[in-house]
Amino acid sequence: MSSRRNFIEKVTVSAIGMPLLFNSPNLLAATEASYDGPVLRVAIMGLGSYGSRVAKAMVDCKKAKLVGVISGTPSKIKDWQAKYSIPKKNCYNYDNFDAIKDNDDIDAVYIITPNGLHCDQTIRVAKAGKHVICEKPMAISVAEGQKMVDACKAAKVKLLIGYRMHYEPKTKALIQMRMNGEFGTPKFFQGQSGFVIGDPTQWRLNKELAGGGAMMDIGIYSINGARYILGEDPIWITAQETKTDPVKFKEGVDETIQFQMGFASGAVANCLSSYNIGNLDRFYMSGSDGWLEMKPSTGYGPIKGRTHKGELNQPHVTHQTLQMDGMAELIFNGKQPIVPLDGEEGVKDMKIIEAIFEAAKTGKKVEISI
Ligand code: NDP
C-alpha cells in the first residue's frame, strides 16, 4: 500500500512540471482507481447552500466520505439520509451533537454554518475528540480564531480551514512558478473580489452572524490570495470604505472596501472587496521578471490563468473534491498542501481583516505583525 501511495504522490508532485502527463485522463483514472488506503469519514454541520455543494463533490472523493449530518432542520436530515445513505445513528442536531464523541464511525466534522457560529461549534467538536474542518472565515474575530486553535490543540485534533483554492490545480501551478522564481521578485498584487448581494434579510448582512460584510465573506479571497501569490505576509495596511446603501449595509456590515497592503520585501498589494460591485473575481501579479493573471481567480471554476509564458492548461476538477481528498491525506499522512490551511493560517487572515477594519475606520496606516 505504501508503495502505491508513493506512486500517487510522485505523479501529483511531478504533475506541476509535466502538464502533458497530468493531462492524461487514463493515467489519472488508473492512479485514482487504485486507492485502497484509509478513508476520512466526515459529518457535515449546516446543510445549506455550500454544505450541499460540498456533499455533492464528496461523492467523487476517493479518500473522504460523507457519513453523517448535523442540522437544525429535520426535513433536510431526511432528504440527505436518502440521498447519501446516511444511517440514523449518524444524524445530530445542534443540541445533541456533543454525543458525537461516542460515535466511532465519524472522524471529522465539517462546519458549514454562518461565520458567527464557527467558534462555539469548533470548540464543541474538538471537545468531542473529532477533527474539525471549518469554513472561511474561520471566525468573526482574532480572539475567537485563537480560541479555536487552542481548543483543537488541547484536544489533539486537527483544525483545517476550507481554503479550497489551496488544492486548485492552476492556483497550485502559479504558486509553484513563484516558488521556482519564474516571476523574479514579486512586486505588485492586485485582487478584486466581489459580487452584488441579494436578499437584505440574509445572515450574511447580519453583523452578529457574519462578523462584518463583504470582507469576511469574499474580500478574504483577495487577502489570502495576496499572501499565497506573493509568498509573504503584510506588515502594514491602509483601507477606505464606501457605503452607498446604509439601510442594506448597516453599521459594522461593510459594503465596499478598497485596501492596500505593504510587505517587508517592498512588494505592495491593492485590493477591492465588495457586496455591491459585480464580476469582481480577478488576481494580477507583476514581478521583476514576469506576470500572472487569473480571471476567474477564486470562483467555483473553471479557473483561468495566464502568465508571461502563456495560458495555463491544467484540467478543471471540482475544487471541493480535491480539497476533501487532500484534507484526508493531511489528516492521515500529514501531507501538507502547497500552502498551509490550518487554524493558524486562518488566524492570520483574521488579523488582517481586523487591521483593515481599523484602517478604514481611523483613516490611518495600521502596522501589523503576523
Ligand atoms: P447558507 O445560509 O446557505 O447555509 C448555512 C446553513 O447553516 C443553514 O442552511 C443552516 O443549516 C445552518 N444554520 C445554523 N444556524 C443558522 C442560523 N442561525 N442562520 C442561518 N443558518 C443557520 O450559507 P452558506 O452555505 O452559503 O455558508 C455557510 C458557510 O460556508 C459560511 O461560513 C460561508 O462563508 C462559507 N462558504 C464558503 C464557500 C467556499 O467557497 N469556501 C462558499 C460559500 C460559503 P441547517 O438547516 O442544516 O441547520
Instruction: Report H helices in the chain.
Output: 2-15, 19-22, 25-33, 49-58, 74-84, 118-127, 142-154, 169-179, 207-210, 214, 220-230, 319-333, 343-362
Instruction: Identify the pLDDT of residue 7.
Output: 35
Whole-number CA gyration radius for the chain: 20
4 has pLDDT over 80: no
Range of the structural domain that residue 197 is part of:
165-320+342-367
Strands 366-367 and 131-134: unpaired
337 has pLDDT over 60: yes
Calculate how far, in angstroms, residue 112's C-alpha sits from the geometric centre of ligand 1: 5
Rounded distance between C-alpha atoms, residue 256 and residue 215, angstroms: 8
Instruction: Identify the pLDDT of residue 32.
Output: 54
Ligand 1 pocket member 48 (CB < 6 A)? yes
Q: Whose CA is nearest to atom 2 of ligand 1?
A: 48
Calculate how far, in angstroms, residue 336's C-alpha sits from the geometric centre of ligand 1: 27
Q: Whose CA is closest to 212, among 250, 162, 160? A: 250
* Tally of domains in the chain: 2
Q: What percent of the chain has pLDDT over 90?
A: 90
Calculate how far, in angstroms, residue 30's C-alpha sits from the geometric centre of ligand 1: 36
Average pLDDT over residues 314-329: 98
Tell whether 186 and 266 lie within a shared domain.
Answer: yes
Tell whether 302 and 188 lie within a shared domain.
Answer: yes
C-alpha distances in angstroms, 306 versus 165, 179, 291?
A: 16, 17, 8
- Is cis: bond before 137, omega within 30 of 0? yes
We report the CATH number of the domain holding residue 48 as 3.40.50.720
Model pLDDT for residues 263-321, shown as the tens digit of each residue: 999 999 999 999 999 999 999 999 999 999 999 999 999 999 999 999 999 999 999 99
Give a yes or no: residue 15 inside a domain: no
Best residue among 44, 50, 75, 164 to mutate for probing ligand 1, ranked by most atoms within 8 Å of CB: 50
CA of residue 334 relative to chain centroid, distance: 18
Ligand 1 pocket member 76 (CB < 6 A)? yes
Calculate how far, in angstroms, residue 221's C-alpha sits from the geometric centre of ligand 1: 17
Tell whether 76 and 179 lie within a shared domain.
Answer: no
Q: Whose CA is nearest to atom 41 of ligand 1?
A: 162
Best residue among 135, 164, 168, 209 to mutate for probing ligand 1, ranked by most atoms within 8 Å of CB: 135
Range in 17-31, 159-173, 242-256 with the lowest mean pLDDT? 17-31
Rounded distance between C-alpha atoms, residue 233 and residue 259, angstroms: 15
Model pLDDT for residues 57-110, shown as the tens digit of each residue: 999 999 999 999 999 999 999 999 999 999 999 999 999 999 999 999 999 999
Instruction: Identify the pLDDT of residue 34.
Output: 81
Tell whether 256 and 271 lie within a shared domain.
Answer: yes
Tell whether 303 and 170 lie within a shared domain.
Answer: yes
* Helix (H/G/I), strand (E/B), else coil: 299: coil
Reported confidence tier of residue 29, pLDDT bands at 50, 70, 90: very low
Residue type, 50: Y
Average pLDDT over residues 325-339: 97
Average pLDDT, the chain: 93
Q: Which atom of ligand 1 is nearest to the CA of 72?
A: 48
Tell whether 351 and 226 lie within a shared domain.
Answer: yes
Among 132, 161, 190, give the residue marking a domain's end.
161
Best residue among 113, 118, 323 to mutate for probing ligand 1, ranked by most atoms within 8 Å of CB: 113
Catalytic residues: 136, 221
Tell whether 112 and 243 lie within a shared domain.
Answer: no
Among 161, 192, 208, give the residue marking a domain's end.
161
Instruction: Identify the pLDDT of residue 33.
Output: 64
- Is cis: bond before 114, omega within 30 of 0? no
Average pLDDT over residues 158-181: 98
Among 161, 183, 200, give the residue marking a domain's end.
161
CB atoms within 10 A of CB 121: 20
Q: Whose CA is closest to 360, among 221, 233, 211, 260? A: 260
Calculate how far, in angstroms, residue 339's C-alpha sits from the geometric centre of ligand 1: 25
Is there a contact between 247 and 279 (Cβ–Cβ < 8 Å)? no
Is there a contact between 136 and 193 (Cβ–Cβ < 8 Å)? no
